[in-house]
Amino acid sequence: MKPHPCNVSAFKVYGGLGTKDSEMHELIRGKLRDDDIPQTFTLNYKTAGAGVPFACRYIKICPILPHGSSYNMSIWHVGVSGIGEEGFVKSVHEGYIKHKDTLALHLVLKHLRRSNFLTAHASLLSQTKLRTEHPKITRLHDALVLEADLATTEELVKSIAEDEGLFEYCARVSPPSCVWKKMSPGADEGRAPVGRGGHQLCIDVERGVVYLFGGWDGAKNLSDFWSYTIATNQWKLIHEDTAAAGGPSARSCHNMVYCHTNRTIYVLGQLKEQRANGANPQPQRADADFFKCSLDATGQGGTWTLLSPSGADSAAGPHSISDHQMIVDEENSLMYVFGGRMEHASDRDGGPAYSGMYSFNLVTETWTHIFHDPARHDGPAANPINIYSRTGHGMVLYQPTNEIFIVGGRRSNPRWVPDMYSFTHTTLATQRIPVDSSIIHSITASRVCIDEKQGEIYILITQQSERDRSRADPVTFMTYHINKKLWVRSEPWVGPFKLGASGDVWEDLELPRPRSAHQVVYDSANKMFYMFGGNSGEDGIPRLNDLWSMRLVRPTVKDLLRKALLAVRKFRFKLMCDSVPPFEALTYLQTQVSGVVDNDDEDEAAELRGLLSYLLSRTSDGDAKMNGADDTKMNEESRKERRQLFDFLMQFVDPTEREPETELRDIVENV
């Protein structure tokens, strides 16, 4: 397929066992490039919530946009591959039908209980013997919605959160706040790292040491090698010039990783092209691209070894590259290298060439080529991986599933849309992962870390784009929950703000200023991020040398329980306003409700004051109800209000332990 304005740019694909919309699932939504390079997409084959696989008999392709404006759309070629073995497909289909039957019964049971058809609900539940929710959730529903027993309701809420642990899921996936702190580390005999961009950081989590090497100070490349000890908040200069110590020469846009198994740092690549301002980097010693530094027992010194004397490609590794990514697979003693711009090479269209993926055996110190960039004119004709190489991306390894996640990045093509992939080296399996729409164009300037124990990938976006520095937004933080396939967005915590004498908004906000060419590492043991340096792009501000720490403050189960109890007690207070003497209701407000209000939260404090006004407005009505109104009979309106409170409490509960969120009436077609 040649470039053409009628070629499809954006599309969706649906599939299922029938042709009706209700019988089809969205398999993918994506974008196509306008070139002659084949693209392969991995289609979704599992249901969104439960992850149950389903079979497809029909495929529907829905073109959305062409590459040329005001043109019709044409599809020239489509191929589909998958599993067609009859026995396997039959077993998948039977499992899917069983899942649908179970889900249908859950929806019917929810509808019956919500509509107060309790006899029918009990009969169907007894006949099917389904477990629709945790037993204590059932007891909570009965106590709150059916019996209006708010004292028992409160005790059950406490038990559900503290004893059963059903609030833990919500605490995990709730957006955390990002709390930044500017560090003031001690210098080494009065010396500290100068401002720079294009440098590299790596971290020894066990020792609590961050290592810094190289970078560009705005005029020249640097070759200094530093350590920062977290416990003492202290910089130490290990080598003023690594080249003089037998290590790499001054460089920037290289990459550096630390292997905990052999306590070794690996450095690969560098930017060798002329700078835009006309200044050239320092001459490179023997074109050496690949080094390792074996650290001593203290972690404050080491010995450099040259692993490739004339470019890694001489040993079947990547060509001379810059702005690539590396990760270490500790269990298999492998280092993976992906992407980066290749020196003195071009793609099929004459544009910059990008390096593919390689692995380096840390024991035998040998390279293996895994796949090339599909746009390479000198690569093999067939590339089954179809992950395009790039620069400025992030890459992390999730050891439990042996998956490599590649996030964002950029290419020289202005139509390039950043994406996210997972890749398994042993099986060559790839999966395109939908990226949250709010950051799709921002992950060209992201920094990516992972917490394997938590199963979370962290994406730190410090400015909208490294190419567009006109915007000055605060740092954006995204968390991708690997197992749940869920994106969660966080915002920086900002306290009361008042512009200070300096007139610098970022200093007064106590937030790092937007930047590019910076580096971030993650201390997984202490759940702390560290960011150093970068280029703000602001006039009059040189390369940065500030060091920041950032921690995520997540809502705890205790926090969620407090909010749940506050909702129950506010509801109970409003009922008391209509049924007990005002003094008794006021006492409850001042002791029980006030006791679970966060006075530092302006919204909650204002709501507490509003409840007092509510009491004053309801006093006369409450006296009337006490003197003759039936305050015990459960009318329909009161039951609906209690049901709404029950629904509110369910947002804190693990979705697998409560009734489905979907309403039966919402999926019934109009007739």
The H-or-E segment that residue 265 falls in is strand 264-268
Report pLDDT for 72. 87
Total Cβ atoms within 10 A of residue 516? 19
Query: What does the pLDDT read at residue 361?
Result: 96
Report the range of poorest mean pLDDT among 162-176, 307-321, 534-548, 640-654: 307-321
Q: Is residue 106 part of a domain?
A: no
Task: Give the residue from 553, 568, 584 where a domain finishes.
Answer: 553
Give yes or no: residues 153 and 229 share one domain.
no
- Where helices occur in 47-149 by DSSP H, the ranges are 86-114, 118-128, 135-141
Q: Which of 510, 529, 553 is the last residue of a domain?
A: 553
Q: Is residue 115 part of a domain?
A: no
How does pLDDT run across 389-447, given as a tens digit for each residue? 999 999 999 999 999 999 988 888 766 777 899 999 888 888 888 887 777 666 666 79
Whichever domain contains 349, its CATH number is 2.120.10.80
pTM for the structure as a whole: 0.84
Domain boundary among 553, 581, 611: 553
Percent of the chain with pLDDT over 70: 86
Q: Give Cβ neighbours of residue 395 (< 8 Å, ≥ 6 apart).
A: 325, 326, 327, 336, 338, 339, 404, 405, 406, 407, 448
Question: CA–CA separation, 154 vs 162, rounded Å?
Answer: 12
Does 114 map to a domain? no
β partners of residue 287: none
Asked if 208 and 268 sit in the same domain, the reply is yes
The Cα–Cα gap between 621 and 626 comes to 9
Instruction: Count the Cβ atoms, other than its own, within 10 Å of residue 504.
Output: 12
460-477 pLDDT, tens digit per residue, is 987 644 444 444 566 788
Q: Are residues 166 and 231 in the same domain?
A: no
Looking at the 3D structure of the chain, how many domains does it have? 3
pLDDT at 33 over 60: yes
pLDDT given at position 498: 59
Angle between helices 150-162 and 557-577 (to 10 degrees): 180
The encoded tokens of residue 384 equal: 């089954």
> Please, are residues 54 and 16 in contact by the beta-carbon 8 Å criterion?
yes
94 located within any domain: no
For residue 230, the number of C-alpha atoms closer than 13 Å in the C-beta half-sphere is 23
Residue 459 has pLDDT above 80, yes or no: yes
The verdict on residue 315 lying in a domain is yes
**657 & 606 share domain:** yes
Distance (Å, rounded) from C-alpha 351 to C-alpha 377? Answer: 11
Q: Is residue 107 part of a domain?
A: no
* Range of the structural domain that residue 59 is part of: 8-82
Measured CA to CA, the distance from residue 543 to residue 226 in angstroms comes to 17
Locate 140 and state its tokens: 């909570």
Backbone φ/ψ region at 126: left (φ over 0), alpha (ψ -120 to 50), beta: alpha
Confirm if 229 and 209 have CB atoms less than 8 A apart.
Answer: yes
Residues 611 and 500 in one domain: no
Beta strands in 408-445 (DSSP E): 420-424, 429-432
Segment 120-165, tens digit of pLDDT: 999 999 999 999 999 999 999 999 999 999 999 999 999 999 999 9
**CA–CA–CA angle 412, 414, 418 (5° rounding):** 85
The pair phi, psi for residue 204, each rounded to 5°, is -95, 100
Q: For residue 439, give the 3-state DSSP assignment.
A: helix
Extract the tokens encoding 360: 């380096």
Q: How far apart are CA 357 and CA 366, in angstroms?
A: 14
Give CA–CA dist 221/281, Å, rounded. Answer: 6
Burial (CB < 10 A; 0-12, 13-18, 19+), residue 393, is buried
Handedness of CA 224, 228, 234, 238 (dihedral sign): negative
Which residue in the block uniquely carries the two structure tokens 């404050």? 300
Q: How far is CA 535 from CA 3, 292, 325, 341, 440, in A?
A: 37, 27, 20, 20, 22
Q: Which amino acid is at 123?
A: S
Q: Domain check: are 291 and 308 in the same one?
A: yes
63-95 burial by CB neighbour count: b if 16+ within 10 A, else e? Answer: beebbeeeeebeeeeeeeeeeeeeeeeeebeee
Q: Return the number of other C-beta atoms located less than 10 Å from residue 526's C-beta.
A: 11
Mean pLDDT of the chain: 86
pLDDT given for residue 464 in this prediction: 46
Q: Which of 357, 298, 345 is nearest to 320 (CA)?
A: 345
Q: Are residues 36 and 165 in the same domain?
A: no
Q: What share of the chain is helix, strand, coil (3-state, %, to 5)?
A: 25, 30, 45
Angle at 283 between CA 360 and CA 218, to 5 degrees: 95
Q: What are the pLDDT digits (tens) for 323-358?
A: 999 999 999 999 999 999 988 666 656 678 899 999
- HSE, side-chain direction, 13 A CA sphere, residue 472: 10
The edge-to-edge listing of strands for the beta sheet with 456-461 is 446-451, 456-461, 476-481, 486-490
Give phi and psi for 234, each to the nearest 5: -135, 130
From 447, 423, 420, 445, select the one nearest 435 (Cα to Cα). 420
In this model, does residue 231 exceed pLDDT 90? yes
**Helix, strand, or coil here: 52?**
coil
Instruction: Find all residues with CB under 8 Å of 115, minimum gap 6, and list them.
Output: none
308: left (phi over 0), alpha (psi -120 to 50) or beta: beta
Whether 99 maps to a domain, the answer reads: no
In a domain, 71, yes or no: yes
Q: State mean pLDDT over 60-86.
A: 88
Mean pLDDT over residues 523-529, rounded?
97
Residue 503 and residue 359 share a domain: yes
* Region of poorest pLDDT, from 209-213, 474-478, 494-498, 570-574: 494-498
Mean pLDDT of 233-261: 95
Q: Are residues 168 and 250 in the same domain?
A: no
pLDDT of residue 626: 46
Q: In this structure, are 165 and 188 located in the same domain? A: no
Residues 527 and 564 in one domain: no
Together in a domain, 220 and 197:
yes
At 502-524, the pLDDT tens digits run 667 777 778 888 888 999 999 99
Q: At 348, give phi and psi (nearest 5°).
A: -65, -30
> Hey, which residues does 520 pair with through a beta bridge?
531
